[in-house]
Chain A
Amino acid sequence: MLLVLAVLGVASIILPALVRLLGRRVFLVAGLISFGAFVHTLLQAPAILDGDPEGYPIERLAWVSQLQLTLDLSMDPLSWVLALVITGIGSLVLIYCSWYFADDEPGLGRFAAVLLAFAGAMYGLVTANDVYLLFVFWEATSVFSYLLIGHYTGRRASRGAALQALITTTLGGLVMLVGLVLLSVQARSSSLDVILSSSPAGALTTAAVFLVLVGALSKSAIVPLHFWLPGAMAAPTPVSAYLHAAAMVKAGIYLIARFAPAFFDMPGWREVLVGLGVVTMLLGGYIALRQTDLKLLLAYGTVSQLGFLTIVSGYGTRDTALAALALLVAHALFKGALFLIVGIIDHETGTRDLRKLSGLGRRSPILATIAALSLASMSGVPPLFGFVAKETVLHGLLVGVESGDPIAVVAVVGVVLGSVFTVAYSLRFFWGAFARKAGVDDVTSLEHVRRGFLLAPTVLAVTSLALGPLAGLADRALAGYPALFEAPEGKPYELALWHGLEPALGLSALTIVLGAALFAARTPVAAAQKRLSTGLSASEAYWDVMSAVDRFSARVTSLTQRGSLSFYLGVILLVFIAVSTAGLVTGSSWRTDVRVWDYPAQLAIAVVMIAAAIAATQVQKRFAALVTVGVTGFGMSALFALQGAPDLAITQILVELVTLIAFVLVLRRLPAKLGDRHGSHHRLLRAVIAISAGVIMVLIALVAAGSRTTDRISLAWPELAFVDGHGSNIVNVALVDIRGWDTMGELAVVIAAATGVASLLFIRGRDDSTSRAQRLTLRRRARARVQQSRLQSIPGERRNAWILAGPTLDPRYRSILLEVVVRLIFHAIIVLSLYVLFTGHNLPGGGFAGGLIAGLALVARYLAGGRHELTAAVPVGAGAVLGTGIAVAAGAAIVPLLFGADALTSTYWEAEVWLLGEVSFVTSTIFDIGVYLVVVGLVLDVLRSLGAEVDRQGDDASDRANARRVESATEGRP
């Protein structure tokens, strides 16, 4: 069986390639492959028919054992019969296709591939012995059917129908999956055998089984999920014949049949299935009666017949089981044939509308004969197989009636009425397709239908005919499945053409007579139907539901997606406040350990900081806000200093300075007043959120700190730092050694941020030029401007060229004093920064502080000399500085690995050096150098971007403005 699946799968992958060579003949290949599968299945007959479950073929392959998902295939009588139907009719339909389509049909290869793949999926579905594997094939058929229905992609109807079919069947499928999960979890196994044989009971099981049934009913187009099937007629007719008559729609029936032996006596099983079956059978027949499109007539007929099959397969006795299987085969035969005939008619005459068709019977007697046979079988006329099947059904149900089962009565009545409709629309079909009609001119085409085209329907019709007399043979083939039910006493009922004069026969005759009458009275009936026709149809209901879903989604989404940042932040904060409050309120064992202050100065600083913070929220001027925020920053560093954290104090001050400068560089371009057009919205709400957030933080802080009972790990740090880290500044050792990994990560952050600044200012690259050449020319230009300005400046002023680019500045903005100062202190600052860097290991300071100090030196250069000064002062790109820095740091981490040590391990050297005396060196200092470089790089990038580039863009803007002014002025003159 795996072999069959593999062959079909691989073949369907190859087919599209073959189309180029073979054109539409590719279908013959596909047909032969499917026929091979048919033969292979037929050869299983001996194993299946001797009825010993041990002998049934089984194949297993593990897939996801943790989920009990196994490729577990087995072939029992039920699977076998369906496999025969699927592969047999499959091969006939595929062969038929090679006459149906033209070579230039768009998407031919795709179509052939999917059709064959569908056959494979269907085969897998009926042979799967693992509920999850069954579901896999189940959904696969849904998807393939979607692709096939949508074959005519140019037609909106096809696409819509495809979507409709997919959504409906997948909905059912997912419900079914839930049911299967529940069943398998209860049975502790996903094997179909195990689940059914253990036949679990209980509310949960009942629920699970009904969930599974939802899937079955949706697949087999049972009311109220039947509407997708008529829509699916938008598919090419061979697809309708195969998927929507013979094979796929039988999947649901198969599942019912599969579950019936274990669950037929479950509360509600019989009621639901028979009830829905009857409704479906009658509704389908009734609607079929008023169709003018032959294909739709058959479609509703199929709906009706599926209802019929649901009744019979759901009733669940030995005899009805036999009947169900017989009926299933019969239906596959005659309905397949009829669809193919419609296809031929449509193909030859260009219409399926029975109001346009006339005189077809004379033109093609063969076609008419085949149709007649199939229709007769459908209406249960002896000696065709349909008759045999229907006899068995009626017998089986009547047995139930005798035993006084009310459901059986409902079933019989339903079946008889339904069959009356069946007979009527069968006659309507024959009349509509082949009769001569007054006022309609005869069909001119259809001289001779090609034999190959007729092959498939002929074979099917002939089989319908042959199986009647050969009912005994059929009985042998089908008897295996009914054996799963307990046999009634006495000789078991067998499929046969003649059972003597018995009630069933009478009912059959009755239905035929009434059906004929109903057809004869078609004109009044049609009128009556028009009057009765209520506007509502399930298909429209589907669309209402879908558009409701769309509208609901839009509603919900527009509720949550307000698109406003402050809304999102507000929600987040509210959630935080809510959950923390919940935690605080429900809690009980709060221990808090508070002292008012460490030293009075705290109070003073605190007051200043709080005041500044509050002021910051209120001030309207940009710089005022900036300054107030800055005050809190300096307050922080004061606290750090007094709290015994000198490194923090230093770093904070330097960072605060650089941040302020950077802010000023940017804000100078923005209007002084803070734009708060919307700012004033929800002031109160924001205040509430803000204050409660603050309070929550305070409370949690108190609780958290109060609950400390263990010693902090950092108690060990002083010794670790001094002895192993060879530094007395614990914080610095921590940064470059004990927790150096954090520092390295933080360097990565700095680099990313610096790159981001560059990216947002020079959109196209890391620098205001994207090619090395451009960059060089740029620097040359900068130098040139310096030189030239030097030459221009008259000898007296030459002295004033204290810094490189000074003279390039507009005299108005030039401050000689500043230039002098910068000139004097620049190198001093750089040296200082290096000193801070290298002594950091033992004194407050280190890489950050050093880097920031050096950065400030650059800031001074820039402020004094403008952007050309910067370009001229720093010959290398900021990227290079950053890159080198991070490379050094990462190197310090990697090198130890080479010596088999852990990453970042530092080593310590002491040596007598001539003249210098005792020199000591810790490798972690190298790491700190990396830090230094990265920080410098960041400041450099900030200056290049927020400083120099902003200047340039500003200048350009003002230049443009001037130019415009001049133009307008010149235009102004007469």
Chain B
Amino acid sequence: MSISLILVITMGALFAAGVYMLLERSLTRVVLGFLLLGNAVNLLLLIMAGEAGIAPIVEDGIADDAYTDPLPQALILTAIVITFAVSAFLLALIYRSWRLANADDVSDDADDVALREGAVEMPVEETAPDAEDTEFPTDDTRSRA
């Protein structure tokens, strides 16, 4: 199947840019990066539709392969809407974390940091074989008395 070099390169560029922003610490940038990646992948699906053709509105006397491949279009439409819904949620997430921390960056996990800095102290259950010389300390005191 022959595909358009221009589109593939564009897809690659969007993907790269998206990844770059995804690795940021600013949550807004991360989300924008996700949008870029979404576009990139949709474009990839479009590329896999092959050559551009006639809009898939059935008319008489048009060969089935003359239409642009409708299957990727269906997939893309679903993907677009899903991306849209998710990004709405991400926006709420941005807003919430801003309200809470008044910061827009993704902070590190506290427990991991604590462990790394050795702040986690594990209580040790050591044995001392001859710690006790009786199971009846009360009797012990009595017999002493």
Contacts and interface: CB of A to CB of B under 8 A. Distances in A.
Q: Do chains A and B touch in the complex (CB under 8 A)?
A: yes
Contacts of B85: 749-750, 752-754, 938
Contact of A675 (B16, B39, B103, B118): B103
A156 B76 contact: no
A659 B31 CA distance: 12
Given A644-B55, A655-B81, A717 B137 contact: no
Interface in B72-114: 73-78, 80-89, 91-96, 98-99, 103-106, 108-113
B70 A728 contact: no
A844 B57 contact: yes
B78 A746 contact: yes
A643 B68 contact: yes
Interface in A573-599: 573, 593-599
B104 to A, nearest CB: 5
Contacts of A697: 11-12, 15, 40, 44
A610 B67 CA distance: 28
A53 interface: no
B127 A539 contact: yes
B8 A730 contact: no
A671 B68 CA distance: 44
Contacts of A760: 89, 92-93, 95-96
Contacts of A152: 135
Contacts of B47: 701, 705
- Size category of the binding interface on chain A: 35 or more
Given A617-B17, A690-B16, A701-B11, A234 B58 contact: no
Interface string A705-723: 1101000111111110110
A802 to B, nearest CB: 29
Contact of B57 (A350, A698, A717, A728): A728
Give the interface residue-count category, chain B: 35 or more
A558 interface: yes
Contacts of A712: 50, 69, 71
Given A593-B3, A689-B23, A719-B64, A613 B43 contact: no
Contacts of B138: 350
B140 to A, nearest CB: 3
Given A445-B143, A670-B94, A749 B108 contact: no
B112 A659 contact: no
A281 to B, nearest CB: 20
B108 to A, nearest CB: 4
A676 B26 contact: yes
A374 to B, nearest CB: 21
A25 interface: no
A665 B77 CA distance: 25
Contact of A753 (B26, B49, B57, B86): B86
A599 B51 CA distance: 10
Interface stretch (A158-166, A179-187, A394-402, A793-801): A158-166
B129 A652 contact: no
A569 B86 CA distance: 18
Contacts of B40: 697
Query: Quick one: which of A233, A682, A714, A739 has the most chain B CB within 10 A?
Result: A714
Contact of A603 (B6, B36, B62, B67): B6
Interface in B1-49: 1-26, 28-30, 32, 35-36, 39-40, 42-44, 46-49
A550 B122 contact: yes
Contact of B77 (A651, A708, A946): A651
A63 interface: no
Nearest to A692: B16
Contact of A351 (B22, B24, B140): B140
Nearest to A150: B125
Contacts of A606: 6-7, 9-10
Nearest to A757: B92
Contacts of A347: 135-136, 139
A889 to B, nearest CB: 13
A742 B55 contact: no
* Residue among A443, A658, A667, A701 having the largest count of chain B Cβ atoms under 10 Å: A701
Interface string A739-759: 100110010011011101100
A299 B46 CA distance: 78
A761 interface: yes
A702 interface: yes
Nearest to A683: B20
Interface string A530-544: 000000000100010
A730 B57 contact: yes
Interface stretch (A250-258, A488-496, A621-629): A621-629
Interface in B114-145: 115-116, 118, 120, 122, 124-144
Contacts of B24: 566, 676, 679, 686
B89 A698 contact: no
Contacts of B62: 718
Nearest to B32: A629
Given A157-B132, A679-B25, A715 B78 contact: no
Given A563-B111, A651-B77, 5 more contacts: A554-B118, A662-B91, A666-B92, A693-B19, A753-B86
Interface of B: 1-26, 28-30, 32, 35-36, 39-40, 42-44, 46-59, 62, 64-65, 67-71, 73-78, 80-89, 91-96, 98-99, 103-106, 108-113, 115-116, 118, 120, 122, 124-144
- The 7 A-B residue pairs with the shortest CB-CB distance, nearest first, are A694-B16, A563-B112, A350-B140, A563-B109, A753-B85, A644-B68, A714-B71
9 contacts: A160-B125, A230-B129, A350-B137, A350-B142, A573-B19, A626-B32, A659-B84, A694-B16, A735-B77
